[in-house]
Amino acid sequence: MSDTLLVNEIFLSIQGESTYAGWPCTFVRLAGCQSSCTWCDTRYASNEAGRNMTLSEITECLAGHQTPLVEITGGEPLQQDNVYDLMRLLCDRGYTLLLETGGFFPVDRVDHRVHKIIDLKPPSSGESEHNCLENITLAAASPGHLKKNFEFKVIIASRQDYEWGRDLLSRYRLTTHCTVLMGTVFGEQDPAELAEWILEDHLHVKLQLQLHKYIWPPDTRGV
C-alpha cells in the first residue's frame, strides 16, 4: 500500500538521549538502514524483516500509549519516503515529535515542527565520510526560532573521535547555532574521561549518557 511504512517495533519507554532525556516517550523504530556503523546498537532493525503498517495503524498504536512525546528512529528512518507524511500527520495531531537520524540524509524535507536529532559520525564509526554536512548549513541558515529544533550528536569511542568532533564543531562554529551533544559508545569510552576533555577544551557541548542503558541491562530491547 502507498501509505505504509516498514516498522521494526513500537514501544513505550523513557527517553534515554537528547535534550529530552528522562521523559516518557513512545518510540517508532522503522526497519532498514543502508549504512554499517561499527557501534550500531540497533542492528536488529536492519537485519529483521519488520512489518508493513499503514499510517493509520501507527497513529492508532501511538494513541494507545498516551504519551505527548514521540520519537521516530531506526534503522535509518529517512530511507522510507512515507516517513515525511507520518511526521506531518503527528505534528498536526499535536505530538511533540523527535526524529533521530544517522545524519546521512538531508533533513530539508522534514516538517519544521519536528525536533531533529542528527548524528555526526566520527572516524571509529566507519561512516564519517558519509556525514551529510548540508544539515549543518541548513541549521545555521534557519530562522532563530527554528534553530532550537536542531541538535547534533557526536558519539565518542576514542580520543581520536573526540578530536575529530572538536575540530568539526570549531570549523563550522556549530555550537553557536545549535545544541550539540557529546556522548560515549557504551563500554568503549569512559564518560569521566570525556568529561575531562570537554572541560579542558572549554567546549560548549552537553555531555550525554544513554540513560536507558543505565536503567536496564544495556542489551535490552524495547527500551
What is the tens place of the pLDDT at every residue in 20-61? 999 999 999 999 999 999 999 899 998 898 999 999 999 999
Mean pLDDT computed over every residue of the chain: 95
What CA–CA distance (Å, rounded) separates 218 from 214? 7
Q: Which stretch of 126-130, 175-179, 197-201, 216-220 has the lowest confidence by average pLDDT?
A: 216-220
Share of the chain above pLDDT 70, in %: 100
Please give the single-letter amino acid code of residue 180.
V
pTM exceeds 0.85 for this model: yes
Q: Closest Cα to residue 155, out of 180, 177, 176, 172?
A: 180
Domains delineated in the chain:
4-215 (3.20.20.70)
What CA–CA distance (Å, rounded) separates 11 from 45? 14
pLDDT for 128:
96
What CA–CA distance (Å, rounded) separates 218 from 4? 31
Longest dimension (CA), the chain: 54
Please give the single-letter amino acid code of residue 32.
G
Contact between 100 and 155 (Cβ < 8 Å): no
The C-alpha cell at 209 is: 549518557
Please give the single-letter amino acid code of residue 13.
S
Using pLDDT thresholds of 50, 70 and 90, give the confidence band for residue 1.
very low
